[in-house]
Amino acid sequence: MSAEELERRYRRLLAVYPWEHRRTYEEEMLAVLLADTRPGQRRPGLGDALNLIGAGLRARLRVSARGFTEPAWADAAAVTGVLVALVLLTIAGKGLIDQLVPDPSVPPPLRPAGPDLVDWLRVAGWAGVCFAALVGLRSVAAGLAWAAAAAWMVLVGPGVADQPTYVVYTLPQLALAVVAAAALSVPAPPRRAIAVLGARRLATLVLASLAVVTILEVNRLTAPSYDATGYTSYVFYDLEARRSLVVRLYVAGLAAAAVAVVVTLCTLTPQVRRRIPVMLAPVAALAAVIDTALAGWQESSMYLGRVIPLVPAQWAMLVLVPAVTFLAGVLLVRRREETLRMVALGRDADRERPAS
């Protein structure tokens, strides 16, 4: 009975290995493990257990890493890299325009002095990422994206000590940069993003980005000034105008741009369009955590006028939630596609079955 119990426990440990590995080597590994046991031993040794768990996890990571080189993941990564780089270029471009064109609604003493070197480098860097990714220089695009993420760590990261709210507020942009860099680091054929998207889809994404920047800038430059008195102002988040119709037009324009992007991505193949949300989900999860779980902390830091440091549990949440969200998305995609594959096999078997 002790030998059977020991074998069952070893099999539980071997379950850490991927199924493909167990199918080929499980019996051989089990025979070696049982041959090295002591007479009367009922449990695996601590060293054996740690070695099996560690080796099994490494094997699973290798299998998962190989899975990201599949054509569907490579295509989704190529599209996601360009899409996120375009989003970050849009954000950087709007920030540069805000510095170049003064807001007439802001009193002169409060207006920005103008763009600095970092503002120009952000635009140039993400424009370079987009260009390099589209022309097939993926290593250059990935290097520029990783450099942008590293620049955030150097320029913004030290502010954790005295400006933690600003650091946390800009974390989604860091997450976008990391997503773009990681997506562009996935091996793919040259100019794969253009091949998958096509000229029309790419043009739609670019035009949607330009439309968003145009609407936001028109709203900023035509918003009521602070020194005006006796007027009615309609506000929807950061959109403001003296007429409700104008605000509605702003919202409709932004909604139309968002719908155009979503429809464009939905016209891709099912394998690709399932994976793009998985790669973007960590950023959305991080933004949701900041807007919900850390909303009270941000308000307290603002109204108290002093630095309130985040506790380790909050930092862990900011790191783990995006990672867990991504892994959960990967598992859901794999389960979904495995289910579809089994359904297709069942249908093929039904077609080949002779009629009785």
d(CA 93, CA 80): 19
Q: Residue ranges per domain, the chain?
A: 2-65, 68-349
Residues 54 and 16 sit within 8 Å (Cβ to Cβ): no
pTM here? 0.79
Angle between helices 2-14 and 19-35 (to 10 degrees): 140
Please report the pLDDT score of residue 133 as a whole number.
94
Please report the pLDDT score of residue 176 as a whole number.
96
Task: Find, among 70, 50, 72, 65, the residue nearest to 18 by Cα.
Answer: 65
Residues 191 and 134 sit within 8 Å (Cβ to Cβ): yes
Please report the pLDDT score of residue 140 as a whole number.
94
Task: Find, among 267, 254, 290, the residue nearest to 197 by Cα.
Answer: 267
Residue 171 — left, alpha, or beta (φ > 0 → left; ψ -120 to 50 → alpha)? Answer: alpha
Q: Do you know the residue count of the chain?
A: 356
Q: pLDDT (tens digit, 9 = 90+) per residue, 193-212? A: 999 999 999 999 999 999 99
Task: Find, among 250, 257, 135, the residue nearest to 194 by Cα.
Answer: 135
d(CA 194, CA 349): 38
- C-alpha distances in angstroms, 335 versus 89, 144, 332, 340, 347? 35, 34, 5, 9, 18
Residue with tokens 């370079």: 128
Task: Find, among 153, 156, 197, 178, the residue nearest to 279 by Cα.
Answer: 178
d(CA 115, CA 92): 11
What amino acid is encoded at 171 in this protein? L
Please report the pLDDT score of residue 1 as a whole number.
45
Please report the pLDDT score of residue 62 as a whole number.
67
Q: Coil, helix or strand for 198?
A: helix
Residue with tokens 């807001």: 103
- Positions of the chain with pLDDT under 70: 1-2, 61-69, 226-231, 305, 350, 352-356
Please report the pLDDT score of residue 298 as a whole number.
77
Q: Coil, helix or strand for 104?
A: coil
